[in-house]
Amino acid sequence: MMKSIYVSVAISAAFASSTAHASEAADLAAGIKCMPAKKIIKLTRKFNKLKPEKRDTVGVVPEMKLTTTGESELPERVYFRTGAVEEAFAMDADGWVTDFARIATMDKEGDLCMQDEHFAGKKDEDAGINLSIDFDVLFKNTSGTHTLAELLDGAKDGKSHYKKMYPGPLALMVPKMTHVGVVYLVEDAALASLTPQIFATKDGQKITGLAVENFGGMFVVGIEDLQNMGADGLKIEGNKYELLPIPSIQKMKDLGFAEGEEEEAEN
């Protein structure tokens, strides 16, 4: 599944043998690797401090993926541990933890853990598993129909969410969100041949002439372009998708975000 990596804040880390429980040796023997969850949970909850009117159109969704190195395999299970209490997470075949958003409700003193018999007795650096955690700012509405007012509000509020992710003076570097990005939720192989069905609308009717740029699998639309066309909405069809408030492609490049093949279509 294609996931947005362009304007999310990521935490990358390696699991380690936990020292927060009675027996590190027992964890090592059982193939259990853990890491403290406090930093992740605290960042996830920071967005709740935004005013309600800043959270009505967009919100933050934490996403976690496990990746392997060398000949390692994905673990048998991923779970949250607080003392002797365990809560399982669901993981798909690609290593995405599909219900990771639940982390926000869990105890800050707990650990994020994984277990596999192949990890038994192995040192941390030999386990061959890394994780990445993205905090994506997404529009809550994914109905396929978006008003211009909604896009403008989400772009403005999206910047407030991004500023929460960066400490101190770095928050001043967050650019204005002037575009929206459409990420179709399809397999990577299908993405290469996917034709975006993204249209400007006026009074509920599609109008032609909208420029849609492709930036590494994310389809980008300028909000100002919609305004200049006299459009009052955006229609997205074809597949399930995620919609993100983002800066322009040039601004993302200037900030060092991932580049991809760029093509421009007109709908």
Segment 213-243, tens digit of pLDDT? 999 889 999 999 999 999 999 999 999 999 9
Q: Which of 106, 136, 166 is the last residue of a domain?
A: 136
Q: Say yes or no: 42 and 124 in one domain.
A: yes
Q: Which domain holds residue 259?
A: 142-266
Do residues 128 and 192 share a domain?
no
Residue 77 identity (one-letter amino acid): R
Q: Which of 102, 136, 170 is the last residue of a domain?
A: 136
Select from 106, 121, 136 the last residue of a domain: 136
Rg of the chain's alpha carbons, rounded to an integer? 21
255 within domain boundaries: yes
Based on the domain organization, do 151 and 125 belong to the same domain?
A: no
pLDDT band, very low/low/confident/very high, at 27 (cuts 50, 70, 90):
confident
CB 136 within 8 A of CB 244: yes
Rounded to an integer, the average pLDDT of 36-40 is 92
Is the pLDDT assigned to residue 23 strictly greater than 90? no
Identify the CA nearest to 40 among candidates 10, 15, 65.
10
Residues 132 and 24 in one domain: yes
Please list the helix, strand and coil fractions of the chain in percent, rounded to the nearest 5, in that order.
30, 35, 35
Q: Are residues 124 and 14 in the same domain?
A: yes
In terms of pTM, does the model score above 0.85?
A: no
Indicate whether 102 and 201 sit together in one domain. no
Instruction: Please report, as a single letter, which amino acid is at residue 266.
Output: E
CB 226 within 8 A of CB 154: no
pLDDT tens digits, 43-76: 888 888 899 999 999 999 899 999 888 878 899 9
Say yes or no: 107 and 203 in one domain. Answer: no
Q: Structural domain tally of the chain?
A: 2
d(CA 154, CA 54): 8
Q: Note whether 190 and 114 are same-domain residues.
A: no
